[in-house]
Amino acid sequence: MRSPLILLLVALLLAGCADRAADPRTTAATPVVVTGTGDTIPMRETLRVGVLDGDPNYQFDRVLWLLARRDGGVLVYDMASNTQGKLIRQYDAQGRFVRVIGGRGEGPGEYDDFPQGTLLADGSLLIVSQGQQRIMRFDSAGKFTGSWPGPTAIVDVAPATDSGWYVASVSAHYPQEEKPRAITYFRYDRLGQLVDTIPAPAAYRDGPFAGAFGPTAMIIVLPDGRFVSSRTDSIAFQMDGPTGSASYARPSDRARYNEEEKQAIVAQFAALNRMSGMKPQPMQLPDLKQAFSYMVSDPDGRILFLRRTAGIRIADTTNLRPEESRWRGMLEIDVFDSSATYRGRLVTPRDVVNRLYAFGKGHLWLMHEGESGEQYLVRWEPAREVW
């Protein structure tokens, strides 16, 4: 039986290599606002959670997402967490394990292997179980409080300002036709009633992550209902709302691949092909990396770009899975506030290379990889007040 994670990784790499049509958005009539330069803001570690051996509630393996709670705590979804696996765990602001929320299965309050989640304005957790086409809500104490049928092909879930939410559904996409996939956002109120259906601005969207090598476009919806779309080849975006559209950009250099890094990526791709039973495919990497890996928003409407940076080769003593590469990128996040003003670039020390993060109020939660391959949940705070 093939691992779903391996197939997912192969799909992401294939998506990055696919030919793409030109971005269909029209921006000629919309002047581009070049926002301020901002500052580079160093981050410092203030808390580390995790053990290599011991209590399974403090062991991490394949974390897919984090959600930062407004009380300073964090929610973690780990595909291989403890002996049961694939559970959502809650930790408080001091890093103490609080509870498991829901569980795997098809019953009330249960989700499939790849749930998506977001935190609503009232502190509730909303989970989308894609395989079951179901939306579930848990209160701030982790109690299951409701379930609703959802649309097919869900690719995104986001909070609204009134404790309601948005769920995005995507139509079929055939690359050979060179047409963008249509994305529709369904707006629900806090009672779970469908109140609006909103077509998103036209753009490609290959799930929550950008293509591995080639440019792709991404869309997010802010809590107030404005849409933000961007292409991964620059730190630039268009904001669409009830009062019109505006485009914003800031200068940003794109990092280069070095030759050893390219060879490692080709070898990694070949290993993934073998593990999934696929035939080898030729690869040709560009010289320049994309400007960012993905774009996200937080509950306050900030817009965050995780930049692609120069490659770093981790130690030969680090334990890796067969499909993993020894090359990583540094953690750099460009931050814009809800009015699209550039606020600065958050950076962590060179050895912090993991790309999974959750943006809390005045801090970041990160999954950090240790020298032996162990995973830690780490809180980082800016060296000075930013917002």
- Give the domain CATH number at 213: 2.120.10.30
Phi-psi region of 242 (alpha: psi -120 to 50; beta: other; left: phi over 0): alpha
Q: Answer whether residue 20 shows pLDDT above 60.
A: no
Angle CA 19–20–23, to nearest 5: 160
Please count the structural domains in the chain. 1
Greatest mean pLDDT among 2-16, 155-169, 287-301, 353-367 lies in 155-169
- State how far the Cα of 307 lies from the Cα of 298, in Å rounded to an integer: 17
User: Could you tell me if residue 252 is inside a domain?
Assistant: yes
CB 5 within 8 A of CB 79: yes
29, 50 contact by CB (below 8 A): no
- pLDDT, greater one: 332 or 283: 332
Average pLDDT over residues 102-109: 89
pLDDT at 193 over 50: yes
Of the candidate ranges 11-25, 90-104, 313-327, the one whose mean pLDDT is the lowest:
11-25
**Does the structure show a pLDDT above 80 at 3?**
no
344 lies in some domain: yes
Convert the pLDDT of each residue in 310-333 to its tens digit.
888 877 777 766 667 778 888 899
Of 63-77, 142-156, 194-208, 235-249, least confident by mean pLDDT is: 194-208
Q: For residue 280, what are the contacts with CB-CB under 8 A and spacing of at least 6? A: 270, 273, 274
Asked whether the predicted pLDDT for residue 209 surpasses 50, the reply is: no
Q: Is 133 exposed, middle or buried (0-12, 13-18, 19+ CB in 10 A)?
A: middle
Q: Which two tokens stand for residue 275?
A: 């593990």
Q: Which two tokens stand for residue 161?
A: 């300002």
Does residue 25 sit within a domain?
Answer: yes
Comparing 293 with 204, the larger pLDDT belongs to: 293
- Cβ-defined contacts of 134-141 (< 8 Å, 24+): 135/165, 135/167, 135/188, 135/192, 136/102, 136/109, 136/111, 137/192, 138/101, 138/102, 138/109, 140/69
Residue 144 C-beta-side C-alpha neighbours within 13 Å: 15
| Nearest residue to 109 via CA among 82, 75, 132 | 132
Instruction: Answer yes or no: is 63 within a domain.
Output: yes
- Asked if the structure places residue 285 within a domain, the reply is yes
> Residue 379 pLDDT more than 90?
yes
Can you tell me the distance from the alpha carbon of 261 to that of 259, in angstroms, rounded to the nearest whole number?
5
For the sheet containing 144-149, what is the strand order? 116-119, 125-129, 134-138, 144-149
pLDDT greater than 70 at residue 32? no
- Res. 181: pLDDT tops 60: yes
In a domain, 387, yes or no: no
Q: What's the whole-number mean pLDDT along residues 210-214?
A: 56
Structure tokens belonging to residue 280: 């080898």
In this prediction, residue 177 has a pLDDT band, given cuts at 50, 70 and 90, of low
Report which of residues 118 and 284 the model is more confident about. Answer: 118
Read off the pLDDT of each residue in 9-16 and give the average, rounded to a whole number: 36
Tell me, what's the pLDDT at 375?
85
Q: What is the pLDDT of residue 276?
A: 74
Q: Which of 153-167, 283-297, 327-341 has the highest mean pLDDT?
A: 153-167
Tell me if 219 is assigned to some domain: yes
From the list 106, 99, 198, 196, the residue with the least C-alpha distance to 147 is 106
Domain encompassing residue 300: 4-382
The reported pTM is: 0.82
Q: Which residues contact 259 (CB under 8 A, 6 or more apart)?
A: none
Contacts with 193 (C-beta within 8 Å, 6 or more apart), sequence order = none
Both tokens of 298, joined, read 């937080």
> Is residue 67 domain-resident?
yes
pLDDT tier at 34 (50, 70, 90 boundaries)? low
Check residue 38 and give left, alpha or beta (phi > 0: left; psi -120 to 50: alpha). left
